[in-house]
Amino acid sequence: MQIKEFDTVLLKDGREASVMEAFDNKAFIVDIGSSSEDWETISVTIDQIEKVLQHSVD
């Protein structure tokens, strides 16, 4: 699975996340939440990602 910056992914815990930074397709900084009131920025690994929901447009 190839994950790039600004892709939308589904985490294995069921949350959707937007990828803000990708490091060697192994570690990622993602934003979760539905609006600026509840956004949270977290780090995840490739093992915590179930699948890519939407690829970013280059």
Q: End-to-end distance of the chain based on CA atoms, in angstroms?
A: 17
In a domain, 30, yes or no: yes
- Tally of residues, the chain: 58
In a domain, 17, yes or no: yes
The per-residue pLDDT for range 25-36, each reduced to its tens digit, is 999 999 998 777
The whole domain housing 24 covers 11-54
In a domain, 41, yes or no: yes
Read off the pTM.
Answer: 0.88
In a domain, 5, yes or no: no
In a domain, 39, yes or no: yes
Mean pLDDT of 8-12: 97
**How many domains would you assign to the chain?**
1
In a domain, 1, yes or no: no
Q: pLDDT band for 58, please (50, 70, 90 cuts).
A: low
The DSSP call for residue 56 is P
Q: Which two tokens stand for residue 37?
A: 């009131």
> Is 9's pLDDT higher than 90?
yes
In a domain, 36, yes or no: yes
